[in-house]
Amino acid sequence: MLIALLVAFTHPNPQPPPDLPPSVYRERREKVMKELGGCAAAIAAQGAEPPGPVTEFRQDDDFFWLTGLSEPKAWLLLFPRAKYRRQVLYLKARDPELEQWTGRREPISPALKSQYGVDYIRRGDGGEALLASAPPHECVAIIAPPGDLKDERNDVKAVRQAASALGLKLVYKRDLLVRLREAHGPEEVALMEQAIAATRAGHEAAARSTVAGASERDVQTQMEFGFFGAGATGLSYGPIVGSGENGAVLHWGKNSRILKDGDIVVIDSAAEYGRYAADVTRTYPVSGKFNEEQAKVYRAVYQAQEDVLAAIKPGAAMVDLQEACEQSLKRSGYLEKFIHGFGHFIGLNVHDVGFSGTPLPPGAIFTVEPGIYLPERGFGVRIEDEVLILPNGKWKLLTANFPRKLEDVEAWVARARR
């Protein structure tokens, strides 16, 4: 039997995502410099050092968006008024002994400079380098987005110290990266569409495996195999597989319950591709059909989605779409059972940056995820899709090939289990 299983098994062979060309990152940095009003600026990598010996370092989103660099302790310096060295990258010093454990790092060279599309690349402390290169400018700008009221970032401290030491004006541009990152370029949209395609394969596996007797963990593993087999490079977030009463827990993470006939299963799980996230939720009936009460709730959630989509018009903001969602659920009588926002921005992070109160710009991508949670009835329903804003107030449902309507979900489950 084991031999037969091995022979029948076809191993997927996904290809790694292509790196974005250096010109993309250079153009992003040029956009930042145009907004600086002639001020110099510095931003340092904030990605956390891996906690384990083989855990991969993950760069913070802002620094990655500006550089494409996945190394800790790096600095980017921007000098709009410099004649030659306008975009400067500082990397941490090499450690040959450490590289035997973590992998070889490239030496400083013209090729490495070209790889990152900068004017100058060196090793060392970018904060100290700011002192030497900022004087031709009349001001220095803080572009690091605020994290909390107690700001301890090394780059913020360095910019403030440089302003004081050199007698330069200190300018705050702390919403700049949020504003620029909110609108995605075509190269980002393409990567997110790949993440969504891999997510579709995983949810196909979930539709097939949400059967009585399986565990929530069984469904998770089948789904993740589908993600990676379709080319995913990671998971966007920890998978949520909530069956029965667990479906009424918004961020259920134990995934330990055994599925029972008559359950519905809320599955909130998605793939990542080339650092860009997807985010999709579907609710599946274990028996293949929703019962009368489940169907009533499902249709109310679906109608809330439809009402949010209908509210996407020129000038619409996230707060407008939140209001549309709440009004829809109020009409259906379930507003008190809606315990979260209608959606969120998505990009390099599953909960990405963006402004809730200003008109959605072309290129913005966000989720629409109304949900109704009935712990007293032993179930919940959530449907989550992704929307891309197009010019002239138009929009595109990026997850259009995922069944959403109740009858289509039931048909999808039936096909998947044949």
What are the residues whose beta carbons fall under 8 Å from the beta carbon of 376, sequence distance 6 or more?
none
Residue 49 confidence (pLDDT): 72
| pLDDT over 90 (residue 264) | yes
pLDDT in tens, 303-317: 999 999 999 999 999
Domains 22-181 and 186-416 share a fold: no
Answer left, alpha or beta for residue 68, where phi above 0 means left and psi between -120 and 50 means alpha.
left
| pLDDT over 70 (residue 52) | no
Residue 42 confidence (pLDDT): 98
| pLDDT over 50 (residue 7) | no
- Residue written as tokens 């259906």? 332
Domain boundaries, the chain: 22-181, 186-416
The CATH superfamily of 186-416 is Creatinase/methionine aminopeptidase superfamily (3.90.230.10)
What are the residues whose beta carbons fall under 8 Å from the beta carbon of 309, sequence distance 6 or more?
368, 387, 395, 397
**Phi/psi of residue 76, nearest 5 degrees:** -115, 125
The CATH superfamily of 22-181 is Creatinase/prolidase N-terminal domain (3.40.350.10)
Considering only 4-13, 70-79, 161-170, which range has the smallest mean pLDDT?
Answer: 4-13
Average pLDDT, the chain: 94
pLDDT in tens, 366-411: 999 999 999 999 999 999 999 999 998 899 999 999 999 999 999 9
Strand-strand pairing, 240-243 and 264-268: antiparallel
| pLDDT over 50 (residue 4) | no
Q: Where are the alpha helices (DSSP H) in 230-381?
A: 292-310, 318-332
Q: Name the 3-class secondary structure at 416.
A: helix
| pLDDT over 60 (residue 5) | no
Give the global pTM: 0.94
Using alpha carbons, select from 58, 347, 319 the residue that is nearest to residue 177: 347
How far is the C-alpha of 131 from the C-alpha of 126, rounded, in Å?
9
pLDDT in tens, 114-152: 999 999 999 999 999 999 998 999 999 999 999 877 788
Contact between 141 and 57 under an 8 Å Cβ cutoff? The reply is: no
What are the residues whose beta carbons fall under 8 Å from the beta carbon of 415, sequence distance 6 or more?
none
Task: For residue 47, name the pLDDT band (cuts at 50, 70, 90).
Answer: confident
**Phi/psi of residue 330, nearest 5 degrees:** -65, -40
pLDDT in tens, 273-303: 999 999 999 999 999 999 999 999 999 999 9
| pLDDT over 70 (residue 51) | no
How far is the C-alpha of 110 from the C-alpha of 118, rounded, in Å?
10
Residue, of 9 and 251, whose pLDDT is higher: 251
Q: Which two tokens stand for residue 262?
A: 């008559």
Helix H or strand E segment including 140: strand 139-142
Q: Name the 3-class secondary structure at 213.
A: coil
